[in-house]
């Protein structure tokens, strides 16, 4: 039979050969971690495998807009400042900077010294392939890049109109040889920044990936592809980057030696000893030889890879797994014995919040030229908010472990008011019906509510839940409709063009200061700005402007809270909820993970135990 | 000479096809594709910044200008840079297409070979229990969602709760052994879902051939069943089989397999294409669509030449 087959189908041999050849063509170019670290390894390579639920869009700091991009960037590049590894609430500390900025009495001049003998990782972009020393001019160059239109910066808003001469430099054509009055290198390791008016969040901006220090040689060498060939002075160096799959980094052997002072990092034995954090005291980061970050959106695949034991070492917990891995959710989360035997767990409230906004530019529900209708619209919004059930939203979509709270100041920032009445977050159908009545709204005259969202199963489910609540207060089913957008890009465009009436939204903080969420309701930032609700209250705007130059203080906190109350009283947004992120990692890993604002900074402190548990 | 003339003729007549496909797909991309403007802007952009980004993306140009540029890109095979990552599109394709090919090829080849063999057995024993079993299993394979198959195979073959023989995710392939290690489970999943479709299709073709006079003559002559099936039946059924296989190739090469690549963490072109569709990364989409159209034209030509090879009666004129 075989003979007959071979006689008649000689081409099968060729086909098999072709298959082998093609399969070898699909092999990766040889990337061997041990080889890359040759001469720098004292023992077997320690490789930590992290996972993220999304992929970075770009690794160029000017485009560090997503959580995922920022996460990678702060590991490749240096920022002047960072947040303490273990301290909560977050505390900003020097990173590349020698100390905290020296600020003039009027709050307008910042002087920052950077550490000496810090070098960029070796790369072909440099002369002879050897990374040069990081200098003050690198920060100036890196900030200038944000104001060069050809770079399509997503971070220029941080310094736009704030640094003397910067906007003029942009308007004059972004000539890198021209100096900027308010952005100067006093000497090779001292930067001086002059502001138009005090900007209390400036230091925080220097802890963001946007402000990472970039060598001009690498930008020139890689050109447009600099976004996939990052070159920095951070703890890791990129070895291989597959933009939608993974990033493989190795230890930057030129990274400065800075032994870990645990008490400085906020070590508390009661909280941190259980994770073995005490074992890293005195060691110099980075503590692993290689870091592989897999970008995995598919939760089933991520979970299988994590529980396998020899693949990814870290995973967030998919919503569908939460009930399987916990024996208790309240008052605190407790893992099942089987899980706690294998894994460490840490959970933390996200640095952000989810909210549902009303588009105030829509006369059907927001501002209306007719003062009577304007008042009725407010009643309608307040009624909708009263019908909204945050507890049920939490139970159905966030496993019941998220935190519900009133207003737009989330618990993660110091200005959060734990004593604020939570009445605006509680479902009260009777109250909602009463407000409908007061506004003279009936099932016949209510406007059709259009809930917008990008097409996905979960968005549709969220809408259906919302429609159910609206039905309870008298909205006919056909008067609550879903406006589905094929992609997030389309949804975002419609939102920025103020075309969506009711917007399900989320926000991840850029820095731990309530100003970052309060700006979401500042009138001049209306669409296409970040104020998607297009709220425009003169009193709120005045307070925002007043506080924008104030340093953290009791007085500022009071004003922030006053603004929070204005938003609540005007029923502009249905708020709020911050998700509780659960992280699991293998017991062979020493880590204290985080995401959001400080996400990524912790990776240089991650260590791996050897087989003997040392 | 006849083949060369035919190929040149077909290449020339293929140009309108490429125009047609690219024109339709480009129109769809431009009018219905996601708008990336706001994804690329920072917070609180000014109108000037919005205009600048739209200009950089080419959104402010007329359809004709954009389509002409696209044709130029296609002619020069220079598709520029990804709007998302900034990486050169050609680099992305060169890196990911071989991976997709290496991932899909074993499942594609084995799925078709096994499909043909099972179809031959089934057709030969038409109406008997073996035929019914093969057809029943085929329908089962066709009925189960690919996604469920992938997740189930991951659990069975790769996870700690199953046999734990293969990796759940990844593509750290540096040798042929590594390759076998990473490709086995995706291949099994791919065969499982494609086998049903292939077997049923090939069986229908072969059953038709089995009823022809020359097959009955060969049977009467006492030909060995294997010889009968492969020499008299399969050879004469090759035209629809070749058509089916050949027209699958462009999709296999260019589009890859999104689900396999996503769930097994394999850096192939399928996932890149999917991400480009979702994010509206037009340089990548334009390249994938254009290359697929070109490959279809070449496939058409090779397909016709193969017809001539398997059936010399067919004229290329």
String of DSSP letters for A300-361? HHHHHHHHHSSS-SEEE--HHHHHHHEEE-SSS-EE-HHHHHHEEEEEEE-SEEEEEEE-TT
Distance from CA of A440 to the nearest CA of B (A): 37
Whether the per-residue pLDDT at A380 is higher than 60: the answer is yes
pLDDT class of A28 with cuts at 50, 70, 90: low
Do the chains contact at B56 and A152, CB–CB below 8 Å? yes
Position A38 scores a pLDDT of 63
Question: Is residue A270 less than 8 Å (CB to CB) from chain B?
Answer: no
Chain A, 129 to 168: residues with Cβ < 8 Å from chain B are 149, 152-157, 160
Question: Is residue A548 less than 8 Å (CB to CB) from chain B?
Answer: no
Question: Is residue B270 less than 8 Å (CB to CB) from chain A?
Answer: no
Position A20 scores a pLDDT of 58
Position A11 scores a pLDDT of 54
Whether the per-residue pLDDT at A574 is higher than 80: the answer is yes
Quote the CA–CA distance of B284 and B86 in Å, as a whole number.
11
Nearest to B266 by CA among B188, B167, B192, B175: B167
Do the chains contact at B235 and A525, CB–CB below 8 Å? no
Whether the per-residue pLDDT at A2 is higher than 50: the answer is no
Do the chains contact at A22 and B42, CB–CB below 8 Å? no
From the list A245, A301, A493, the residue facing B37 with the nearest CB is A493
pTM of the model: 0.90
Quote the CA–CA distance of B264 and A32 in Å, as a whole number.
21
- Are A474 and A379 in contact by the 8 Å Cβ rule? The answer is no
Residue of chain B nearest A33, judged by CA positions:
B172
Position A1 scores a pLDDT of 46
- Are A305 and B263 in contact by the 8 Å Cβ rule? The answer is no
Do the chains contact at B179 and A58, CB–CB below 8 Å? no
Position A488 scores a pLDDT of 86
Whether the per-residue pLDDT at B135 is higher than 50: the answer is yes
Tell me the chain A residues in contact with residue B267 when contact means C-beta distances shorter than 8 Å: 242, 244-246
Residue of chain B nearest A150, judged by CA positions:
B56
Whether the per-residue pLDDT at A561 is higher than 60: the answer is yes
pLDDT class of A29 with cuts at 50, 70, 90: very low
Average pLDDT in the A70-83 region?
Answer: 97
Cis peptide before A121 (omega within 30 of 0): no
Whether the per-residue pLDDT at A31 is higher than 60: the answer is no
Question: Is residue B109 less than 8 Å (CB to CB) from chain A?
Answer: yes
Whether the per-residue pLDDT at A165 is higher than 90: the answer is yes
pLDDT class of A340 with cuts at 50, 70, 90: very high
Can you give the C-alpha Rg of chain A in angstroms? Answer: 27
Distance from CA of A259 to the nearest CA of B (A): 34
Question: Is residue B149 less than 8 Å (CB to CB) from chain A?
Answer: no
pLDDT class of A320 with cuts at 50, 70, 90: confident
Average pLDDT in the B4-26 region?
Answer: 86
Do the chains contact at A307 and B230, CB–CB below 8 Å? no
- Are A324 and A565 in contact by the 8 Å Cβ rule? The answer is no
Quote the CA–CA distance of A425 and A219 in Å, as a whole number.
49
Average pLDDT in the A320-330 region?
Answer: 90
Do the chains contact at B230 and A9, CB–CB below 8 Å? yes
Tell me the chain A residues in contact with residue B100 when contact means C-beta distances shorter than 8 Å: 26
Spell out a b/e string for B194-222, using b for 16 or more CB atoms within 10 Å of the CB, else e.
bbbebbbbbbebbbebbeeeebeebeeee
The CATH T-level fold of domain B90-280 is: MetI-like fold (1.10.3720)
Strands A502-508 and A352-358: antiparallel
pLDDT class of B306 with cuts at 50, 70, 90: confident
A16: Cβ contacts below 8 Å, ≥ 6 apart: none
Average pLDDT, chain A: 92
Q: Identify the H or E element spanning A226.
A: none
- Are B107 and B194 in contact by the 8 Å Cβ rule? The answer is yes
pLDDT digits (tens, 9 = 90+) for B139-195: 998 899 989 999 999 999 999 889 999 999 989 888 889 999 999 999 999 999 999
Do the chains contact at A528 and B41, CB–CB below 8 Å? yes
A490: Cβ contacts below 8 Å, ≥ 6 apart: A454, B34, B35
Distance from CA of A527 to the nearest CA of B (A): 8
pLDDT class of A190 with cuts at 50, 70, 90: very high
Position A414 scores a pLDDT of 93
pLDDT digits (tens, 9 = 90+) for A32-48: 566 666 655 556 789 99
Tell me the chain A residues in contact with residue B171 when contact means C-beta distances shorter than 8 Å: 28, 245
- Are A356 and A397 in contact by the 8 Å Cβ rule? The answer is no
Q: Which has more pLDDT, B295 or A344? A: A344
ipTM rounded to 2 decimals: 0.86
Tell me the chain B residues in contact with residue A26 when contact means C-beta distances shorter than 8 Å: 98-103, 173, 179
Tell me the chain A residues in contact with residue B176 when contact means C-beta distances shorter than 8 Å: 20, 23-24
A390-397 and A457-472 helices cross at what angle (nearest 10)?
Answer: 150
A508: Cβ contacts below 8 Å, ≥ 6 apart: A67, A350, A351, A352, A596, A597
From the list A5, A30, A489, the residue facing B36 with the nearest CB is A489
Quote the CA–CA distance of A164 and A105 in Å, as a whole number.
17
Average pLDDT in the A261-287 region?
Answer: 96
Average pLDDT, chain B: 89
Left, alpha or beta for B80 (phi > 0: left; psi -120 to 50: alpha)? left
Strands A607-608 and A589-590: antiparallel
- Are B199 and B118 in contact by the 8 Å Cβ rule? The answer is yes
pLDDT digits (tens, 9 = 90+) for B197-219: 999 999 999 999 998 998 999 98
pLDDT class of A477 with cuts at 50, 70, 90: very high
pLDDT digits (tens, 9 = 90+) for B245-303: 888 887 777 666 888 998 999 999 998 988 888 888 999 999 998 888 888 888 888 88
Nearest to B18 by CA among B252, B299, B270: B299
Position A15 scores a pLDDT of 56
Position A41 scores a pLDDT of 58
Whether the per-residue pLDDT at A24 is higher than 90: the answer is no
pLDDT digits (tens, 9 = 90+) for B80-113: 999 988 999 999 999 999 999 999 999 999 999 9
- Residues of chain A with pLDDT > 90: what percent? 86
Chain A, 24 to 53: residues with Cβ < 8 Å from chain B are 24-28, 30, 32
Do the chains contact at B183 and A23, CB–CB below 8 Å? yes
Average pLDDT in the A121-128 region?
Answer: 96
Quote the CA–CA distance of A156 and B45 in Å, as a whole number.
9
Position B150 scores a pLDDT of 92
Q: Which residue has the tokens 């096809």?
A: B17
Chain A, 64 to 93: residues with Cβ < 8 Å from chain B are 65
Position A330 scores a pLDDT of 84
Do the chains contact at B81 and A224, CB–CB below 8 Å? yes
Average pLDDT in the A370-387 region?
Answer: 98
Residue of chain B nearest A521, judged by CA positions:
B44
Tell me the chain A residues in contact with residue B275 when contact means C-beta distances shorter than 8 Å: 55, 244
Whether the per-residue pLDDT at B50 is higher than 50: the answer is yes
Average pLDDT in the B18-26 region?
Answer: 88
Do the chains contact at B272 and A19, CB–CB below 8 Å? no
- Are B57 and B35 in contact by the 8 Å Cβ rule? The answer is no
Cis peptide before A206 (omega within 30 of 0): no
pLDDT class of A30 with cuts at 50, 70, 90: very low
Position B316 scores a pLDDT of 66
């Amino acid at each position: 039979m075989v003979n007959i087959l071979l006689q008649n189908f000689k081409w099968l041999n060729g086909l098999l050969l072709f298959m082998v050849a093609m399969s070898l063509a699909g092999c990766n170019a040889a990337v061997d971690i041990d080889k890359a670290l040759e001469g720098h390894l004292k023992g077997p390579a320690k490789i930590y495998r992290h996972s993220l639920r999304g992929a970075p869009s770009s690794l160029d700091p000017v485009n560090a807009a997503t959580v995922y991009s920022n996460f990678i960037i702060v590991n490749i590049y240096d920022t002047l400042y960072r947040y303490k590894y273990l301290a909560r609430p977050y505390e900003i500390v020097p990173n590349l900077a020698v100390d905290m900025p020296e600020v003039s009495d009027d709050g307008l001049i910042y002087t920052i010294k950077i550490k000496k003998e810090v070098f960029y990782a070796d790369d072909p972009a440099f002369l002879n392939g050897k990374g040069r020393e990081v200098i003050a001019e690198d920060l100036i160059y890196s900030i200038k890049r944000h104001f060069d239109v050809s770079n399509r910066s997503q971070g220029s808003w941080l310094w736009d109109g704030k640094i003397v001469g910067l906007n003029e430099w942009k308007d004059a054509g972004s000539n890198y040889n021209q100096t900027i009055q308010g952005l100067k290198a006093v000497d090779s390791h001292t930067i001086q920044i002059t502001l138009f008016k005090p900007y209390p969040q400036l230091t925080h901006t220097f802890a963001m990936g946007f402000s990472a220090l970039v060598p001009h040689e690498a930008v020139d060498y890689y050109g447009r592809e600099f976004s996939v060939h990052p070159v920095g002075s951070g703890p890791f160096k990129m070895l291989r980057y597959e933009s939608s799959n993974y990033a493989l980094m190795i230890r930057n052997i030129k990274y400065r030696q800075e032994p870990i002072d645990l008490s400085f990092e906020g070590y508390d034995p009661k909280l941190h000893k259980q994770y073995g954090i005490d074992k890293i005291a005195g060691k110099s980061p980075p503590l692993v030889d290689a870091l592989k970050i897999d970008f995995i959106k598919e939760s089933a695949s991520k979970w299988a890879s994590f529980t396998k034991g020899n693949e990814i070492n870290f995973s967030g917990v998919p919503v569908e797994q939460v009930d399987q891995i916990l024996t208790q959710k309240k008052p605190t989360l407790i893992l099942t014995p089987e899980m706690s035997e294998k894994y460490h767990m840490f959970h933390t409230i996200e640095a952000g919040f989810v909210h549902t906004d009303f588009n105030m530019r829509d006369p059907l529900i927001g501002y209306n030229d007719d003062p009577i209708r304007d008042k009725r619209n407010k009643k309608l919004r307040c009624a909708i908010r009263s019908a909204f059930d945050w507890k049920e939203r939490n139970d159905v979509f966030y496993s019941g472990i998220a935190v519900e709270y009133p207003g737009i100041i989330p618990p993660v920032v110091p200005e959060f008011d734990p004593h604020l009445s939570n009445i605006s977050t509680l479902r009260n159908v009777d109250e909602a019906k009463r407000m409908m009545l007061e506004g003279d709204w009936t099932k016949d005259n209510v406007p059709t509510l259009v809930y917008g969202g990008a097409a996905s199963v979960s968005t549709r489910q969220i809408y259906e839940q919302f429609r159910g609540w609206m039905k309870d207060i008298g909205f006919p089913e056909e008067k609550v409709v879903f406006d589905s957008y094929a992609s997030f890009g389309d949804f975002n465009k419609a939102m920025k063009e103020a075309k969506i009436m009711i917007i399900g939204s989320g926000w991840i903080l850029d820095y731990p200061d309530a100003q970052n969420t309060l700006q979401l309701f500042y009138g001049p930032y209306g669409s296409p700005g970040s104020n998607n609700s297009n709220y425009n209250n003169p009193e709120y705007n005045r307070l925002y402007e007043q506080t924008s130059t104030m340093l953290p203080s009791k007085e500022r906190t009071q004003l922030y809270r006053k603004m929070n109350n204005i938003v609540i009283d005007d029923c502009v947004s249905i708020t709020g909820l911050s998700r509780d992120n659960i992280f699991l990692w293998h017991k062979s890993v020493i880590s204290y993970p985080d995401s959001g604002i400080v996400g990524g900074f912790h990776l240089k402190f991650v260590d791996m135990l050897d087989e003997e548990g040392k | 000479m006849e083949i060369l003339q035919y190929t040149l003729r077909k290449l020339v007549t293929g140009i309108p096809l490429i125009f047609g496909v690219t024109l339709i797909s480009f129109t769809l991309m431009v009018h219905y594709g996601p708008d990336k403007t706001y994804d690329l802007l920072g917070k609180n952009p000014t109108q000037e910044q919005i205009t600048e980004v739209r200009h950089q993306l080419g959104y402010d140009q007329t359809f004709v200008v954009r389509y002409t540029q696209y044709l130029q890109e296609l002619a020069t095979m220079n598709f520029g840079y990804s709007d998302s990552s900034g990486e050169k599109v050609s680099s992305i394709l060169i890196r990911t297409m071989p991976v997709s090919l290496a991932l899909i090829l074993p499942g594609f080849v084995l799925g078709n070979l096994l499909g043909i063999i099972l179809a031959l057995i089934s057709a030969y024993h038409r109406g008997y229990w073996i035929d019914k079993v093969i057809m029943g299993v085929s329908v089962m394979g066709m009925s189960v969602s690919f996604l469920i198959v992938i997740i189930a195979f991951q659990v069975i073959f790769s996870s700690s709760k199953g046999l734990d023989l293969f990796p759940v995710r990844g593509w750290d392939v540096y040798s042929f052994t590594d390759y076998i290690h990473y490709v086995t489970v995706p291949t099994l999943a791919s065969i499982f879902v494609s086998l049903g479709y292939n077997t049923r299709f090939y069986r229908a073709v072969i059953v038709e051939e089995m009823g022809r006079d020359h097959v009955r003559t060969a049977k009467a002559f006492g030909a060995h069943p294997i010889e009968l099936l492969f020499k008299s039946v399969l050879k004469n059924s090759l035209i629809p089989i070749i058509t089916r296989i050949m027209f699958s190739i462009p999709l296999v090469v260019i589009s890859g397999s999104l689900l396999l690549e996503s769930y097994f963490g394999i850096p192939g072109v399928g996932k890149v294409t999917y991400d480009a569709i979702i994010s509206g990364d037009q340089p990548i989409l334009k390249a994938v669509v254009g290359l697929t159209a070109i490959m279809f034209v070449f496939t058409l030509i090779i397909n016709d030449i193969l017809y001539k090879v398997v059936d010399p009666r067919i004229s290329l004129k």
